[in-house]
Structure 1
């Protein structure tokens, strides 16, 4: 039975596409007419390229979607031929059409291959990953009175190990952990497990904020590196992010997430003397937020003061003030998990079951 959530009309907005992509487990929607005839496809990558051109979420998708899609013809293909297309095109979904180009079915990657196999990545990341693991974790008290935040378990593994595994899947082999609060417990954990990647520990003497500890890496010897908070997981093609970072000559790229927030009340607008001018029932807002994951060029370290409390927001502002390029790379709402506060923790546990 066809899942209706993967269909979208070409007169719907970019925002509508984002909502549907977030509701489904797929990375691609089928653009169809009223009779379900295939017009094209639209993916999160198409949306990302569109948004990075400075376009509006309110525009319809007519000029955004791909109008020459790959498809299979009903009764004229085998699963083996579908496998070859998946491998050649590196796509996640192929629609099946009848003789009138009506969508009658579709095949996803996991139908053609075993569930354990994932579509090949565009490339392997060859840069180190720095994880800011020195925070106090006050938002996760009382657990963090005993354990450091990076070791808080999510399902059967600590947060920090899940973060490392996500990068390791894409080729990450070298990890720097910036430590402070209960850092010796984090060292003991990684020294006590079997691992096929390298971990180096960098110790802060004082709490230096979300960016200050990076100054301790000034002799790291790499021109580019990834930085991640220790309580977030972002699903993105990091080699693609790095390629775009270099192409834009950016000093920093901030991975962002497009979030939809619905206010569960009527919102009142009023003017002087308390006279109501309008009311909007349960309005919805779409915002782009900072995920806490970044690509940094070595040049950025020059703008971080020595042994001083300095947050990432301070670094971003400092770079912009000095006319350095700060880029962004947006991901979907469901490709970002925040585990750093109790309100999100339970959601994260459930989300991680299907995240991979």
Structure 2
């Protein structure tokens, strides 16, 4: 139960790590005697980060103080518990005694005895797999980046499996560099039923070929890099995108960067004021996954080299709404660089 409990003095960053550890998108906030104070969901944390709250801030102002709970005496009332889960759309329910002390956490999976099932969705998933993978040379001199193996399967299969486990199986893969090897691999394994390939005769940037792509009638579509692995709830991402009426939602990872040196801070006269020894800084960095409204596709010019950053700049200039969906850095692995590739080998 430890991974479900946090204190109000804990930081948003610490709470996010606990949420990632327990896998239930929520933590229970308690006092020093484990008395229930409320709950904090990953959505609450995202709202705080979007409002530019420092991720190292205390959770005290941001957790829900009117959370749902059940008294230990009523745990046999399964109908009541079931209604709480289904009608209130919550992921866990704290069980407390007469003094309000948390005795147990009831989660969706341990109550219903199964994970939530996802309906198959038609939303297209576009995987950008045409790059040369220059940062992973010399491996990519032989294999295209999407087929770089991590333990027992290539990185692109991790991406496909994450989407299919969330109900998305309508895939479009853009290819260019060593494209025939990628085609041959998927023809051999015959694991995925709905994959369409789009060959770029010449490189056209990360999203240039989308102008020629015939997507089915849909409200939204995903775009993802082929060298990232994200452990997120895609249904929650879609809900966030829709609820906030975003034109485009970008997934960003809360990333801590440590400076391995003493950093000099100067005063207004240019003299040394103090040295901050090996400081760390937190940023939100682009994780390489995007959710777009379908009508954004028409902004991509035909037969031109066009990167996703070009599209973002146009949307910003036209004042379209671009949302940011923050995730914990432990939920994101970018195998496009050697340090992260080694991390993937250890953690997957």
Q: TM-score band (shorter)?
A: 0.7 to 0.9
C-alpha distance in 1 between matches for 2:126 and 2:85? 32
What residue is the counterpart of 2:289 in the other structure? 293
C-alpha distance in 2 between matches for 1:60 and 1:51? 12
What residue is the counterpart of 1:65 in the other structure? 63
What residue is the counterpart of 1:253 in the other structure? 249
Instruction: Pick one of 329, 332, 338 that aligns with 2:325.
Output: 329
Asked whether the equivalents of residues 31 and 40 of structure 1 are also in contact (C-alpha less than 8 Å), the reply is yes
C-alpha distance in 1 between matches for 2:161 and 2:13? 31
C-alpha distance in 2 between matches for 1:215 and 1:304? 6
Asked whether the equivalents of residues 79 and 112 of structure 1 are also in contact (C-alpha less than 8 Å), the reply is no
What TM-score, normalized by structure 1, do the two folds share? Answer: 0.84
C-alpha distance in 2 between matches for 1:342 and 1:98? 50
Q: Point out the more displaced range, 197-206 or 262-271.
A: 262-271
C-alpha distance in 1 between matches for 2:110 and 2:239? 31
State the secondary structure of the residue aligned to 1:189: helix
Q: CA deviation at 1:277?
A: 1.3
Cα 1:84–1:325, aligned 2, differ >3 Å: closer, same or farther?
closer
C-alpha distance in 1 between matches for 2:292 and 2:180? 27
What is the correspondence of 1:262-341 to structure 2 with a 5 Å cutoff?
262-270=258-266, 275-341=271-337
Cα 1:220–1:98, aligned 2, differ >3 Å: closer, same or farther?
closer
State the secondary structure of the residue aligned to 2:123: coil
State the secondary structure of the residue aligned to 1:164: helix
Instruction: Pick one of 178, 200, 203 that aligns with 1:204.
Output: 200
| Counterpart check, 1:119 vs 2:127 | no
Asked whether the equivalents of residues 11 and 55 of structure 2 are also in contact (C-alpha less than 8 Å), the reply is yes
Asked whether the equivalents of residues 6 and 30 of structure 2 are also in contact (C-alpha less than 8 Å), the reply is yes
| Counterpart check, 1:99 vs 2:98 | yes
What residue is the counterpart of 2:158 in the other structure? 162
Cα 1:271–1:51, aligned 2, differ >3 Å: closer, same or farther?
closer
Q: CA deviation at 1:40?
A: 1.1
State the secondary structure of the residue aligned to 2:168: coil
What residue is the counterpart of 1:32 in the other structure? 30
Asked whether the equivalents of residues 252 and 296 of structure 1 are also in contact (C-alpha less than 8 Å), the reply is yes
Q: Point out the more displaced range, 164-173 or 209-218.
A: 209-218
Q: Gaps (5+ residues) in structure 2? A: none
What residue is the counterpart of 2:135 in the other structure? 139
C-alpha distance in 2 between matches for 1:56 and 1:41? 20
Q: CA deviation at 1:228?
A: 0.6
| Counterpart check, 1:47 vs 2:39 | no
Q: Point out the more displaced range, 213-222 or 159-168.
A: 213-222
**RMSD of Structure 2 on Structure 1 (CA):** 3.1
C-alpha distance in 2 between matches for 1:339 and 1:306? 30
Cα 1:291–1:10, aligned 2, differ >3 Å: closer, same or farther?
same
C-alpha distance in 2 between matches for 1:29 and 1:244? 19
Q: Deviations over 1:209-237 (max 9, x none)?
A: 22222223166554421111101122333
C-alpha distance in 1 between matches for 2:248 and 2:54? 24
What TM-score, normalized by structure 2, do the two folds share? Answer: 0.86
| Counterpart check, 1:180 vs 2:179 | no
Cα 1:247–1:112, aligned 2, differ >3 Å: closer, same or farther?
closer
